[in-house]
Amino acid sequence: MVVILENNATDEQIKNVKQHLEDFGFQIHESSGVQRTILGAIGVKPGFDTRKVRILEGVADVYRVTSPFKLASRNFKEEKTIIKIKDVEIGGDKIAVMAGPCSIESEEQIFKLAEVVAKSGSKILRGGAFKPRSSPYSFQGMGEEGLKLMRKAADEFGLLVITEVMQIDQIDLIGKYTDIFQLGARNMQNFSLLKELSKSRIPVMVKRGLSATIEEWLMSGEYILSGGNKNVILCERGIRTFEPYTRNTFDLSAIPVVQKRSHLPIVADPSHATGYRDQVPPMARAAVAAGADALMMEIHHDPENAMSDGPQALLPDTFITLMGELRAIAAAIGKTI
C-alpha cells in the first residue's frame, strides 16, 4: 500500500500516520521527495480497509500496489532515483560510464586502463578481483591484491571503483576498496547475499540474471531496498536465448520497460550482452539512444592476452572514439556524457 501525504502535512501528522500504520502491523518505508512524502506500507492484508488510513489527518491518497515489487516501483517513488557518489551521479541527465578490464591482472594493466578511462571522460573504473568463472580451471581473479591495485589506480586518476562481490564473507573486505558493489548475473537470486548487501549503504549494481525476467530482476532490487539500502542500480547485460552468433541477447527493450515501472537507474552492459568486440559499439550507441542512465564496457590494451573476456574487450582507441559518438547521441536526446 502506498500512502501519499499532503504537500503541507506537518511533521506531527506524518508521525501520527506512521504510528497508525505500525499499529496496523505494516512495515514502513519512507520516500521524501522535494514536493511530498510518500510512505510505503509493506504487508497489506487482503481484507484491510484502506479508508482507515485515508481518513487520517495529512493523508492525500492511499492505494494498493499490485506489482510484487513495491519500493522499486514508480508508484512508490515517482521521481527518478539519482545515486550520488562523490562527484558522480547515476540516474540524472548525465550518462555515467563505467569502463575497465574484465579482470584486474597486474599493476601495470590496471594503471594503463585507468588512464584510458580518465582520458575518455568516464568517471568509473570497473574490474573484477573475484571472478565468477564457468570453469574452475579458469583464472579466478587476483583477490585483495587486485582490489588494492584498482583502488590505487582509481585514486591516481580521480575515478570511482565498481567491482564484483560474489559471497557474503567478501562484503567487508571489498567494501573497504570499492564505491559500488557489483552483484553478478549468476548471483542475482542469491537471496542471502542480497539480504546482506541490503544492510550496507554502499550502492549495489544488480546485474540481470542469465534467464531472469524483468520482474524477477526488479524483485532482486526490492530485496536490497527492503533491507534499507536505497542505493540500488540495475544492469541489463544480456539474457540467454537460442542465438549463438552473440554471447547473449541484448534485451534493449528492458531499458524503457524498467524506466517506466521503476525509479531505479538502469545501466546497459553491451560487452557481456554481445560478447564480441565488433558488436559492442553499435549496441552501446543503441543503449544510449534507448535511454540507459549509464553504460558499462570492458576495455583492454592487449585483449589477445587478457585473462578473461578478451574477445569482447574494446581497444583503448576504439573506446575513445566511441565515447565521442555516444556524446553526440546523448545530446540528441537532451543528455550529456
The binding site for ligand PEP (CB under 6 A) comprises: 102, 128, 132, 184-186, 207, 237, 272
CB of 311 to ligand PEP, least distance (A): 13
Binding partner selected for residue 184 from Mn ion, ligand PEP, none, CB under the kind-specific 5 to 8 Å limit: ligand PEP
Question: Which residue number, 111 or 139, has a Cβ lying nearer to Mn ion?
Answer: 139
CB of 270 to Mn ion, least distance (A): 12
Helix (H, G, I), strand (E, B) or coil at 39: strand
Q: Please, what is the Cα angle at 142 between 137 and 143, to 5 degrees?
A: 110
CA-closest candidate to residue 172, choices 153, 200, 145: 200
CA-closest candidate to residue 109, choices 315, 311, 306: 306
Q: How far apart are CA 62 and CA 38, in angstroms?
A: 10
Rg from Cα positions in the chain: 21
Element (H, E) at 4: strand 2-5
Binding partner selected for residue 132 from Mn ion, ligand PEP, none, CB under the kind-specific 5 to 8 Å limit: ligand PEP
Which residues sit at the interface with Mn ion, rule CB under 5 A?
102, 309
Question: Which residue number, 29 or 272, has a Cβ lying nearer to ligand PEP?
Answer: 272
Question: Which residue number, 56 or 174, has a Cβ lying nearer to ligand PEP?
Answer: 174
**Cα separation values, 182 from 14, 57, 164, Å:** 36, 42, 4
CB of 190 to ligand PEP, least distance (A): 12
Sole residue written with cell 541484448: 250
Instruction: Check: CB of residue 17 under 8 Å from CB of residue 53.
Output: yes
CB of 104 to ligand PEP, least distance (A): 11
CB of 272 to Mn ion, least distance (A): 6
CA-closest candidate to residue 237, choices 185, 277, 279, 201: 185
Nearest residue to ligand PEP on Cβ basis? 184
CB of 334 to ligand PEP, least distance (A): 29
Question: Which residue number, 123 or 237, has a Cβ lying nearer to ligand PEP?
Answer: 237
Binding partner selected for residue 70 from Mn ion, ligand PEP, none, CB under the kind-specific 5 to 8 Å limit: none
Residue 140 main-chain phi, psi, to 5 deg: -100, 0
Question: Which residue number, 128 or 203, has a Cβ lying nearer to ligand PEP?
Answer: 128
